Structure 1
């Protein structure tokens, strides 16, 4: 629990242990990426990806898999310009600073995905791609998340590497969760397509 970047009052076992222990198996194959409230020390053990539990696969800090005919790529973590160009220097047990920086997106992780030669069907990123608000009507978004308007105007909302990957990999679908609200945008990768 000490590796979770959460206030202590939220550090409690929920249901994942049932799957992690193998007591139960996820009812459908599940593929996930990391965010900013995961147990970073456990995810670090699967840096390149792997089975976190039976039927639950972690894509790693940057990963790609084929599931049947579906190509899925993902970038774990959140963007922080200060740590983006740094190597991974965090080691467990984490201190007040490294418990946050351990899940920051790193340049070489994004770089690995930029070298995929084939396009992907689904792209997962914890952070929203930078500039995604330019591709949608934001009125509903601003009605529930008023502070996003300032962040969009200041150019601080979103992850620049995720936007670069969205442009390069041209996925049919992109899913991001960091901002905890439903928001739909349509990005045309090329005119009419």
Structure 2
């Protein structure tokens, strides 16, 4: 944790879907309003860092959503990320590229993939990430090797499995946890009507997955960040230990400022600042 005299300020970003330019423009504006640079950026999956059409072909998505996006300009050093950015994988990623380094790697300067399961210390904050989404049929089986691309569905690469969750649990603790899909059981009763019949939520009880929630309960982070559902939501989880976890769900960059969050850590305290609109 940062000391009481040290403040860490970072931004969180929801699903980017290849719109890196739009993301950077929004963040530049918020940094100007803040009058200080961000210490780093955290991103919760569906980043879509496609270098070329070959990468795009390894992403699982309907044809109408297969867009090359902005990342090629960053990979070719025609544009740059102004601050260090750390992202996890979602269910729409070029896993043919990312799984060449399942432990995580730096794609270009200031752009880091945390891997299938990753942990990084950022200014005294321990950030843990789990890539992918949950599917019951895939949870207890091994992911196909990259050599199977072309002979198995690209969807097979989008799921986390039991070993991934075990590895995340072995990390012991986190200050910030990144998951793509929401943890289950975070929707307050008074908010449940707003999830009835919505995207990926026939009702509030079906939102999220139990394994993301297991990580929240085990690692007891101060803050959980997630995306996937393309909507903004704030919740909390109260633990028997007396600790409380803030859960911040972020919309997609195409939806505007609901895709962004601005967070301050000082000592053991975490707070969110409302963004300038």
TM-score bin, normalised by smaller chain: 0.7 to 0.9
1:86 aligns to what?
141
Shift in alpha-carbon separation, 1:132–1:92, aligned structure 2, 3 A: farther
Give the equivalent residue in structure 1 for 2:179: 125
Contact 1:4 1:37 (C-alpha < 8 Å) held by counterparts: yes
After superposition, the Cα gap between the structure-2 partners of 1:159 and 1:9, relative to the gap in structure 1 and judged at 3 Å, is same
Count of aligned positions: 188
1:89, distance to aligned residue in structure 2 (A): 1.5
1:67/1:147 Cα in 2 relative to 1: closer, same or farther (>3 Å)? closer
Give 1:16-165 correspondences, 5 Å limit. 16-91=71-146, 94-95=149-150, 98-117=153-172, 119-133=173-187, 135=188, 137-139=190-192, 141-142=194-195, 145=198, 148-150=201-203, 152-153=204-205, 156-165=206-215
**Aligned mates of 1:109, 1:127 — CA distance in 2:** 15
2:167 and 2:160 map into 1 onto residues whose CA distance is 12
What TM-score, normalized by structure 1, do the two folds share?
Answer: 0.87
Shift of 1:131: 2.0
| 2: CA distance, partners of 1:147 / 1:63 | 27
Q: Deviations over 1:144-163 (max 9, x none)?
A: 8276253x44xx43222211
| Distance change (3 Å), C-alpha of 1:145 and 1:18 | same
Q: Check 1:191–1:114 CA distance in 2 against 1; reply closer, same or farther (3 A cut).
A: closer
CA–CA separation in structure 1 for the residues paired with 2:189 and 2:128: 23
Return the TM-score normalized by structure 2. 0.62
Higher-RCO chain (CA-CA 8 Å, sequence separation at least 6): 2
Determine the structure 2 residue equivalent to 1:5.
Answer: 60
Look up the SS of the partner of 1:18 in the other structure: helix
Consecutive unaligned residues of structure 1, counting only runs of 5 or more, are none
- Separation in structure 2 between the aligned mates of residue 63 and residue 147 of structure 1, nearest angstrom: 27
Q: Is the 8 A contact 2:130 2:164 kept in 1?
A: yes
Q: CA offset at residue 78 of structure 1?
A: 0.5
CA distance in 1 between counterparts of 2:92 and 2:80 reads 23
SS in 2 for 1:112: helix
Alpha-carbon RMSD: 2.2
Task: Measure, in 1, the Cα distance between the counterparts of 2:152 and 2:186.
Answer: 29
The more displaced of 80-89 and 8-17 is 8-17
- The offset of 1:192, in angstroms, is 4.6
